[in-house]
Amino acid sequence: MAQANAPGTISAPSCPADGAVKLTMLLTVAVLLLMMAFGLTMRMAQGALIQIDPTIFYRLMTAHGIGMVGIAGMSGSAIMWYFLSRHVSLAGWVFWIHLGLFVVGVVAILGSIFIGGYAGAWTFLFPLPAISGGVWDVGAAATYLIGVILVGVGFLVYLVEVGRAVIERYGNFANALGWPLLFSGKQDDVPPPTVIAAAAIVVFNGISTVVGAAVLIISLINLYLPSFTLDALLAKNMIYFFGHVFINASIYMAVIAVYEIVPEYTQQQWKVSRSFVASWNAVVFLVMAVYTHHLFQDGVMPAWALVMGQIISYASGIPLLVITTFSLLTYLYRSGIRWDLASALLVTGIFGWSIGAVPAIIDGMISVNNIMHNTQWVPGHFHLYLLLGQVALTLGFSAWLTRTGVHASLSGWNARGFTIYLLGGMGFAIVFLVSGASSIPRRWATHLPEWHLQDQVGSLFALAAILGVGIIVLPITKRLVLSMRG
């Protein structure tokens, strides 16, 4: 059902569960700021600018990790849902269930961390949830796992509905992934980029969610029946397979915003070429096969799996990232684009995604990983990837969703906020990378005095990033609230 537009916003085609999508973006903005505040607190504590108990530090670290992964996934799913509904018929109530399960799951997770004291990191690596050394009890760990399971069930429902709708329209996944075009060079009903991306995401994220559900239930049983143990290496493989695919899917879902919104600015439709189809099909395999690059420190892993992780780390960034980035630059070149906040953020998102992959590829080499894995190099990589990639895409989508009728160029507070966010985000991630190159460890609550300078500079950039995002999201939040009331 189309919704009336609030004063000051322009008429955008409605999507099924339009209200839920807007509510998700509102929730995203709030959670992002909260998680950034948690991050700043941790950096300030490491830099001895404030004093917090290490127990609190690890609770914040756990909340920051799961909060960012969760909200990145949720906002990505909202973006994909919004644009996919332009091409296939989705049932709106499914997204409400997805959002409802997410909220209930988040409440359980926050309760387990800040009331129950769970601080075993978002990765819940077996057997850590069960062995807390008295820091948290079994109930807290179980509540955390149940919270993650609820979020996972919501995603499964969402993915099944997306898959159903895509198959309903295109007959099967082979058509939706453009296989006829890929293998024979022609297809009668070529799916748009959004459908190809959605089909690919359903395949790999669906598999990862099923694997994640299994390891979560197993961990839950182990909490109450410790004699039922799981091979720790197998558990780590399952968890990292799930975690790696899930967080990457959150970026892939958000990239759809670029395929759908940028053509509005450049007046050129995003074309589906064979190379585009090939790149998305390659990603289906590569994103699942590359997860072993998280396990280079596990010397008991089969050698072939680690070698595969290294080789695919080189390859996984190339197809989709290069094709998308190159296409974007081609579309932008001489397009006469008029920059506004939304377009600037979307292009920044692709920039952050692209450069964020570089430290990952470097760390994806076994010889480098042996030195860098437990340093701040790794948070440097994923903060580039997320803070300047996924978050920028999400903010860009939100800015576009709540755009006003009058074309607003990138000026005034928008431009200031964007610049502060960009500089703050870049600086923050670069300080992490420099610290990593200096062998400063990650995940340590207390730092040596020799490391404090980097931590303090990092805190300054973190503050700038929060300020920038705050300036950007203030008018967006206002327009989202108005739009929902309308």
Partner 1 sequence: MTERLAFYAAVLILVTVSSSPVRLLLEQSLVSHLLIQMPALVLCGWTIARRHRDAINRGRESFNVGGATGLSFALIVFSFWMLPRSVDGSVQNPLYEFAKFVTLPFAGASLALSWPKLPPLAIGILKCNLVSMMLVLSWIYTTSPSRLCNSYLRDEQDMLGQIVAVLAIGLGCLFGGSLFCGTTTIVRRKSATPIGSGGRE
d(CA 268, CA 270): 6
**Shortest gap between Cβ of 57 and partner 1 (angstroms)?**
34
**Shortest gap between Cβ of 229 and partner 1 (angstroms)?**
6
Closest CA to 98 of 146, 152, 149: 152
Q: Which is nearer to partner 1, 30 or 234 (CB)?
A: 234
Residue 117: which residues within 8 A CB-CB, separation 6 or more? 55, 59, 135, 136, 137, 140
Q: Which is nearer to partner 1, 19 or 111 (CB)?
A: 19
**Shortest gap between Cβ of 325 and partner 1 (angstroms)?**
27
Q: Which is nearer to partner 1, 169 or 443 (CB)?
A: 169
Closest CA to 341 of 396, 381, 301: 396
Other beta carbons less than 10 A from residue 26's beta carbon: 18
d(CA 403, CA 345): 13
Q: Which is nearer to partner 1, 85 or 483 (CB)?
A: 85
Q: Which is nearer to partner 1, 69 or 203 (CB)?
A: 203
Q: Which stretches of the chain bind partner 1, using CB under 8 A?
A: 1-2, 13-18, 85-92, 94, 156-157, 160-161, 163-165, 167-169, 171-174, 203, 206-207, 209-211, 213-214, 217-218, 221, 227-230
d(CA 201, CA 160): 11
Axis crossing angle, helix 92-114 with helix 54-84, rounded to the nearest 10: 180
**Shortest gap between Cβ of 234 and partner 1 (angstroms)?**
9
Output the 3-class SS for 124-172: CCCCHHHCCCCCCCHHHHHHHHHHHHHHHHHHHHHHHHHHHHHHHHHCC
**Shortest gap between Cβ of 337 and partner 1 (angstroms)?**
23
**Shortest gap between Cβ of 284 and partner 1 (angstroms)?**
11
Q: Which is nearer to partner 1, 50 or 210 (CB)?
A: 210
Q: Which is nearer to partner 1, 171 or 441 (CB)?
A: 171
Which amino acid type is present at position 341? L
**Shortest gap between Cβ of 206 and partner 1 (angstroms)?**
7
